[in-house]
Structure 1
Amino acid sequence: MPDAGRPKSPLTLSVPERTALSQLAAAPRTSAAMRLRARIVLASAEGRSNKAVADLLEVTPGTVGKWRRRFLRMGMAGLDDGMRSGRPRMVDRVQLGATSITGAPTSMADSGHRPSTRELAAAYGVSQSTVSRRRREEVQHYRSGAGISVATSRPAPPPPGDTELLSDRVYEAIRGWILSGELAPGMRVVESEIARVLGTSQTPAREAVRRLAHEGLVTYRPRLGNFVTEISQVEAREAREVRVLLESAAARRATGHAPPEELDLLRIEVQRMIEAAGHHDIGAFREADLRFHRQVLATSGNSMLLRVWRTLEPALWSLQVVSNAMYAGDWGLMARRHLDLIEVLAGTDPEDSARLFAAHARGESSITRPAGRPS
Structure 2
Amino acid sequence: MLSAGLPQGAVPRIERPGPLRERVYETLLELITTRSLRPGRHLVESELAGHLGVSRQPVREALQRLSTEGWVDLRPAQGAFVHEPTEAEADQLRTVRTLLETEAARLAAARTGPAGISALDALCAAGERAVADGDMDRSVALNTAFHAKVVELAGNTVLAALAGQVERRVRRHHAPETGRRGRQAWAEHRDLIAALAGRDEQRATDIMRAHTQHPRRTYRERERG
In the TM superposition, what whole-angstrom CA distance separates every residue of 1:317-355 from its partner, at most 9, and x where no partner exists?
Answer: 33325xx1x677353553454222222111132211111
Deviation at 1:225, TM superposition (A): 3.5
RMSD (Å) for aligned C-alpha atoms: 4.0
2:213 counterpart of 1:359: no
Q: 1:275 to 1:154 in 2, by over 3 A?
A: farther
**Aligned mates of 1:241, 1:160 — CA distance in 2:** 33
Amino acid at match of 1:310: G
In the TM superposition, what whole-angstrom CA distance separates every residue of 1:153-189 from its partner, at most 9, and x where no partner exists?
Answer: 420226969x944869866765564345342222222
**Aligned mates of 1:159, 1:315 — CA distance in 2:** 20
Q: 1:286 to 1:236 in 2, by over 3 A?
A: same
| Aligned twin of 1:338 | 189
Deviation at 1:309, TM superposition (A): 1.9
**Structure of greater relative contact order (alpha carbons < 8 Å, 6+ residues apart):** 2
Q: 1:183 to 1:276 in 2, by over 3 A?
A: farther
Q: 1:275 to 1:230 in 2, by over 3 A?
A: farther
| Aligned twin of 1:152 | 4
| Aligned twin of 1:103 | none
2:156 counterpart of 1:302: yes
**Aligned mates of 1:172, 1:279 — CA distance in 2:** 29
Q: 1:225 to 1:192 in 2, by over 3 A?
A: same
Amino acid at match of 1:329: R
**Aligned mates of 2:171, 2:24 — CA distance in 1:** 19
| Aligned twin of 1:319 | 173
Q: Which has the higher helix share?
A: 2
With structure 2 as the length reference, what TM-score do the two structures score? 0.69
**Aligned mates of 2:115, 2:205 — CA distance in 1:** 21
- Which range is displaced more, 262-271 or 200-209? 200-209
**Aligned mates of 1:279, 1:291 — CA distance in 2:** 18
Amino acid at match of 2:199: T
After TM superposition, where is structure 1 displaced by more than 6 Å over at least 4 residues in a row?
Answer: 158-161, 168-173
- 2:97 and 2:167 in contact (8 A); partners too: no
Deviation at 1:314, TM superposition (A): 3.6
1:218 maps to which of 71, 74, 78 = 71
2:198 counterpart of 1:347: yes
* Rg larger in structure: 1
Deviation at 1:259, TM superposition (A): 1.8
**Aligned mates of 2:202, 2:142 — CA distance in 1:** 26
How many residue pairs are counted as aligned between the two chains? 212
Q: Report the identity percentage.
A: 28
Which residues of 2 match residues 231-270 of structure 1 at below 5 A?
A: 231-270=85-124
**Aligned mates of 2:61, 2:140 — CA distance in 1:** 24
- 2:11 and 2:51 in contact (8 A); partners too: no
With structure 1 as the length reference, what TM-score do the two structures score? 0.45
Deviation at 1:235, TM superposition (A): 1.8
In the TM superposition, what whole-angstrom CA distance separates every residue of 1:184-229 from its partner, at most 9, and x where no partner exists?
Answer: 2222222212234456543564466567x28957324253543323
Give the SS at the match of 1:239.
helix
Give the SS at the match of 1:226.
strand
- 1:256 and 1:346 in contact (8 A); partners too: no
**Aligned mates of 1:307, 1:180 — CA distance in 2:** 19
| Aligned twin of 1:111 | none
Which residues of 2 match residues 81-120 of structure 1 at below 5 A?
A: none
Deviation at 1:361, TM superposition (A): 0.7
**Aligned mates of 1:267, 1:207 — CA distance in 2:** 42
Q: 1:254 to 1:238 in 2, by over 3 A?
A: same
- 1:250 and 1:297 in contact (8 A); partners too: yes
Unaligned segments of structure 2, at least 5 residues: none
**Aligned mates of 1:273, 1:208 — CA distance in 2:** 34
**Aligned mates of 2:3, 2:39 — CA distance in 1:** 23
